Structure 1
Amino acid sequence: MKRGRLPLTALRSFEAAGRLESFTLAAQELFVSQAAISRQVRELEALLGKPLFTRHHRKVLLSPDGVQLLETLATAFDSIDARLEDIRAKETVALLTVNAEPSFAGCWLVPHLADFRALHPGIDVSIESEARLIEFRGNEAQLAIRHSAQATAWPRSQARRLCDVAMVPVASPVILADTPLKTPQDLLSHTLLHEENRDVWTRWFAAAGLTPGAERMRGPIFADCALALQAALRGHGIALVDSVLARDDLDAGRVIQPFDLSVPQGAYFLVARDFDLLPPEAKAFADWMTACFAAPYT
């Protein structure tokens, strides 16, 4: 018999009735009427041209052909059930969407993402890189990473402080090899790289006890810290950057911090609509981020 013509409903009814030796119990198991079970079995018997049951007043017994068919069906149905359960039980890959500001996404999150994946291979992370503050609606990210110079909370959301931010001067070793820096005053003989405006460099020099004029503060202005750091890596000048984002380059010696002096610039926060209601994959990511910044990260 061709597979497309197999009477699957009738076979299912017969298997239940034969296994339970009762049309009534089969009907209860399959959530149909007893009459429906009886009709399906009769149609199967008519198709085969052989009786599958011997019917008595209060019970039914399998005929020899019925016993053989039941054995085949029981084995087949058990195999199908086991395979379906295996498929259902397999670990599925969860997709987590995280929204991060471009500088943090490029300089910290992407370089460290492999560490998270090593701990949670069943979770794929989709990174959205944009500066706007998301509302955690619809298909938006489950988590966001935000920097703020002053704010510590955002409307209709919860925030966890990850770490404070300190702005430090960094330069390519090539620059410092040619003209070593001995005092903060020496920085003014180099091109200064600025993020957004010249205010942070002004604050840094003030902390160093210097008040250079506007002419001596000239230099390129970049939209974010990541761009200023890239310019410093290529020897275009000396940048004042977020120490969190520059940490990997500092540790690897790609840039050097000539002076320990820094100025505070707010903090990073992990933000969610409600941390208690996060799905498992988002909670795993939140716990990982918290652990990463558990110790002072400067």
Structure 2
Amino acid sequence: MWRARAEAHRRRVEAWTAPHLERRLRGETHPVEDFLFSYYGHRPARLRQWHPGAGVVLAGARDFGRGYVDTPEGATLDTAALLDRRGATVEWIARLLSATAARPAHFGCFGLHEWAMVYRAAEVRHGAWPLRLGGEEIARVVEERGVRCSHFDAFRFFTPEARPLNVLQPTRERQRELEQPGCLHANMDLYKWAYKLSPLVSGELVADCFALARDIRAVDMRASPYDLSPLGYRPIRIETPEGRAEYAAEQRGFAERARLQRRRLLDACERLPAASG
């Protein structure tokens, strides 16, 4: 049973990692498909590696890998030893996830964080791809709509000129106070928290969070001022009422998917003390 799970995980993840590695060999980059590997820094080999999670015995397994111990029934994760080393990290992640889950979701940002990253900029992050609008038109949209970003790791990439236009001034120290469950970046980050909790959580949960983050990234860039239509990404024109309505609908759908994944991560954290002893 567990061998079938491990193989299914490997096949699923290979569909994401193999094209990324092929592009890397060719010296190519993809602004959507490669982002989760370059930004989060979790290596493809680590994503491919399957774990059952804490408290699971792999029947008949021996020498399963680092962090595992053999028992008469099979191999199992040495949860107590892992928590001795990483307990503070697990607690920090659980507190952030819990605080975010308890907050109401907000859906009025319309993806303008990506616009604030190119606002009055001489150079842009994805310079290989053209912008849909000129610099002055981008500036007009940002200034007229305003920016309402609550996520520090998006805010820190704003241009210096854009930062004062944001309603909030997020900091790393205020992360737990400000993150909210409607935010695309907070929901994308569930992948980060999942792999940081691995191998205490299952490989399937890490992969589910990756899949969610991948879908979010596509919408994030479709709503940006970049033109990725040659790659097959139809723009969400948030500079129009119709585009803002489409973006908010996508955002609500991601918030619901993220709610379920966040709950699974929290449940896994809450089970850890029992699993370790």
Query: Normalising to structure 1: TM-score of the pair?
Result: 0.19
Higher strand share: 1
- Structure with greater proportional helix content: 2
TM-score for both structures, normalised by structure 2: 0.20
Higher Rg: 1
